[in-house]
Structure 1
Amino acid sequence: MSPAPQPGLSLEALRTRIRAIEVPSPYRTVGFGAATVDAALPWGGLPLGCLHEAAGTPGDAGAALGFATALVTRLQKSTAGTRPVLWCLRGDTEHEIGNPYAPGLRSFGLSPKHVLLVRAPATAQVLWAMEEGLRAGGLAAVVGEVEDVDFSTSRRLQLAAEAGGVTALLVVPELAAVSGAVTRWQLSSIGGAEARPLHPRWHVELTHCRGGTPAAWELEWNHATYDFAVAAGVRDRSLEPRHERAQAAG
Structure 2
Amino acid sequence: MVGENIVSFSKIDSTNMYAKNNLDKLPSGTVVWALSQTSGYGRHNSFWYSNTGGLWFSIVFKPSLIREPNEYTKVVSVAVAETMIKMGINSVGIKWPNDVFIGKKKVAGILTEAIFSGISVNAIVVGVGINVNNELPEEIRQIAISLGMVINKHISLEMLLDKVLKRVEFLRKNYLIRGKNRYLTRRWKKYLAFAEKDEITVSLPSGEKITGIINSITPSSLCLEREDGEILKINSGEILL
Normalised-by-shorter TM-score class: under 0.3
- The structure with more helix, counted as a fraction of residues: 1
Query: Taking structure 2 as the reference length, what is the TM-score of the superposition?
Result: 0.24
- The structure with more strand, counted as a fraction of residues: 2
Query: Taking structure 1 as the reference length, what is the TM-score of the superposition?
Result: 0.23
* Bigger RCO (CA 8 Å, 6+ sep): 1
